[in-house]
Chains A and B, each alone.
Chain A
Amino acid sequence: MDFDPVVLARLQFAFTIVFHIIFPSFTIGLSAYLATLGAMWLRTGNDRYQHLMHFWTRIFAVSFAMGVVSGIVLSYQFGTNWSRFSVVVGNVVGPLIGYEVLSAFFLEATFLGVLLFGFKRVPPWLYVLSAAIVAIGTAMSAFWILSANSWMQTPAGHQMSGGVAHSADWLAIVFNPSFPYRFAHMLNAAYLTTGFVVFAVGARYLLAGRHMDEGRTMLRMAIGLTAILAPLQLFLGDQHGLNTLHYQPIKVAAMEAHWDGSKPGDFHIFAWPDEVAGVNRFELSIPKAASLVLTHRMNGLFPGLSSVPASDRPPVKVVFFAFRIMLAIGFFMIAAALFGAFLWWRGTLFETRWYLRIMSHCWWIGFVAVISGWVVTESGRQPWLVQGILRTADATSPVPGATIAGTLALFVLAYGVVFWFGIYYINRLIALGPHKVTAEPGAFSPSPIAAAQDAGREAMQR
């Protein structure tokens, strides 16, 4: 059989990174939530916060482990599947990743030990501080990895010589043009994602009439957070898009499925982009709305896909639909959070069961939005791996397709098993609830979730 190594390497990378990004989106937000709970516990002395903190720490441990192991795989993929990538841009991207390891990974991984096992060994302030350090560490690793990724989107501060990129100005490399937008948008995305998980868990407890105190606290905290961050995300996304229009106009054209740059752009609520004919089918559009958003004028013009040869266009359908999914979730989040805030203000939040029921099913929406966002960003950059410098097809390793196909199958199998067990265990921890999981706060147990295990046995025997 004949395998195309480029396609397979892309598939393998896309699969492993989509798997990985699920966990950072959650652990970045959750570590910040843990630190917040800890701070509130120290301030108020209220045990409810401490219970909640321990409860979520157990869930954090499971997710963090999956984030770490899937991340290690990624850092080796640069070499295994994209070895030309390290030759051509290693001088520039390498140090960014190196800084990530030194400044962030060690910080998180080391203080995680205190967070998970140190409750009785260290004074409360140091315990809470460790949670904060883990939160800062995760945000810092986002900083560096997004800097590397943004440089691949909008390279700056480098010089090419002999076909290899060399650094000229490190500040310009780290703070390349798309980086501030991408960092803000992604960090906010992680907080939103976690916010909606907490939201859903709180709603689930209230509906079931269990853990009412903790449920109310979670709901209030989640609404307070998301009612601010969800609208903010719309603003950040808009700014991000304007920046992209400036540096990667063809990506924006694909996001909007905008073919003809000599006419103003409509915003397509739905369309089926026909990449062969270069037109959209089944359009349902708001006339000129895309021009209005992107150029702030009804008749403003922006480049269309037809302005470049087909070989220089990204896969339009993928980018277009992924972008719609992210937008739909973004607007839904705004509506849900603001409506929740409204109910809270009216004083009926905890009694409006239909609303709680909807929210209790929304734990996954942030993850889908994050993955869609990355698909937009990464697929929209194609056919380039590093915009204007290195094409994806030129970056692969001298490894035969069959080898990549075999290992890809292994990854799918292995990750499939790990993922479903992970979800299953997290779900079970949530079902057990804060009281069972942290049954005796005094005996905060050695393994992150060993208490849950005993509690779980009990629950099973009943």
Chain B
Amino acid sequence: MEWYLPLIWAALIGTAVFMYVLLDGFDLGIGILFPSTRSESERDQMTRTIAPYWDGNETWLILGGAGLFVAFPRAYAVIMPALYLPVIVMLLALVFRGVAFEFRHVSYSKTGWNFAFNVGSTLAAFAQGVILGGLIQGVAVRDGAFSGGSFDWATPFAFLCGLSLVGGYALLGATWLVLKTEGPVAHRARGQAKVLLLVVLALMAAVSLWTPLSNPRIAERWFSLPNFYFLWPVPLVTALTAYLAWRWLENGREAPPFLASMALFLLGFIGLVISNFPYLVPPSLTIWDTAAAPASQIFMLLGTLLLLPIVLGYVAFIYWLFRGKVREGESYH
């Protein structure tokens, strides 16, 4: 009867996960780029651009996880055991990078915590890519429960996805620095962004080709006939966006490169949805197979529709409040 509820919920969770990827993406990216400078005051400048936000950004990850738990408990119960190790690695990496953020300010020697911040950020990004890849390539399910082994996810494809996400987050981070800083940091970030743009394009292309090649279900989705007419613009728009991003980086623009990298993520995300809809746990469980009881989905939906706009409102307020450039050696105020 309520066939549309799981659809709404899939859209909401998709949005939460996408918000997470964009927002925590740029602050994880800062961590990934951390070793590219030796100067402690430049590193301070880099962390200051994300200091007021990182905590709120990470909350989207909890919303994504909790949303899955609320709306699709049976998918949650399969995905988490199946991807147990990458999930735990991601969590531990986030632990280290989160506390490193606070600790590096109080310690006499920052070296250790700089290292934790860098490795934690990189590993978290990599693990998230592996989780994604592990899902795309499919999960063994019997009687509604995970039936595979602890290392089923560990394939070259999943590792490639991991690398892609590291590259993608670094790109977001670099373009964020272009937007939020000036001086040597901004200058270096502009150069890095160009390199990363090419790397990300190559990785995206590799993942996009590998996926249908190894997966007949997805190949069918893209290349069967009526579909192909609608879908071929996706890669084209991607190429166009990347070209524009390059131009903007060359021309010294500040905000557009960041927006363009976010658009690249959006396109990748759309591609994913096209490949996998309506499966939540490919290749066997759809969003309807795994949905929670309608009463539970409705109860939570009412609250979400009421609260999410408020949440978005004050998140926007915070971004507005701390707008503007962060300069080297300058305090926030």
Contact = CB atoms under 8 A, between A and B. Distances in A.
Decide whether A and B are members of one complex. Answer: yes
Contacts of B95: 69-70, 72-73, 414-415, 418
Interface in A96-152: 97-103, 105-107, 109-114, 116-122
Interface in B291-333: 292-293, 295-296, 299-300, 303-304, 307-308, 311, 314-315, 318, 321-322, 331-333
A199 to B, nearest CB: 24
Contacts of B321: 113-114, 118, 121-122
Nearest to A85: B77
A109 B59 contact: yes
B98 interface: yes
A117 B322 contact: yes
A445 B76 CA distance: 42
Contact of A72 (B62, B67, B108): B62
A91 interface: yes
Given A91-B292, A414-B96, A65 B80 contact: no
B34 to A, nearest CB: 15
Contacts of A167: 293, 295-296, 299
Of A83, A100, A116, which is in contact with the most chain B CB atoms at under 10 Å from its CB? Answer: A83
Contacts of B132: none
A456 B70 contact: no
B96 A418 contact: yes
Interface stretch (B84-92, B158-166, B234-242, B243-251): B84-92
A101 B318 contact: no
Interface string A436-458: 00000001111111101100110
Contacts of B63: 101-102, 105-106
Contact of B67 (A69, A70, A98, A397): A98
B103 interface: yes
B56 to A, nearest CB: 4
A421 B108 CA distance: 12
Contacts of B178: none
B315 A75 contact: no
Interface stretch (B145-153, B206-214, B255-263, B270-278): B145-153
Contacts of A448: 102, 105
A32 B166 CA distance: 39
B65 interface: yes
B331 A443 contact: yes
Q: In terms of DSSP, what is the predominant structure of the interface of chain B?
A: helix
Interface stretch (B45-53, B186-194, B281-289): B45-53
B87 A80 contact: yes
Contact of A76 (B44, B56, B65): B65
Nearest to B73: A90
A65 B103 CA distance: 9
B182 interface: no
Contacts, number: 260
Interface in A371-411: 397-400, 402-403, 407, 410-411
Interface string A53-72: 00000000110111011111
Interface residues of A, number: 82
Contact of B55 (A84, A112, A164): A112
Contacts of B8: none
Contacts of A449: 102, 105-106
Contact of B76 (A79, A170, A444, A447): A79
Contacts of A166: 293, 295-296
A69 B59 CA distance: 10
Contacts of B79: 79
A388 B46 CA distance: 53
B77 A87 contact: yes
Contact of A109 (B44, B47, B55, B304): B55
Nearest to A133: B314
A156 to B, nearest CB: 16
Contacts of B314: 106-107, 110-111
B98 A68 contact: yes
A103 B307 contact: yes
B322 A121 contact: yes
A375 to B, nearest CB: 23
Contacts of A71: 62
Given A75-B69, A167-B296, A402-B150, 6 more contacts: A75-B65, A83-B80, A94-B296, A101-B62, A106-B314, A452-B106
27 contacts: A64-B55, A65-B102, A68-B55, A68-B58, A72-B62, A75-B69, A79-B87, A92-B296, A94-B292, A98-B69, A98-B303, A99-B300, A99-B303, A100-B66, A101-B66, A102-B303, A106-B311, A106-B315, A114-B318, A118-B52, A121-B332, A164-B293, A167-B293, A397-B77, A398-B81, A418-B96, A453-B106
**Ranked 5 nearest A-B pairs via Cβ:** A90-B73, A79-B80, A120-B333, A113-B52, A83-B77
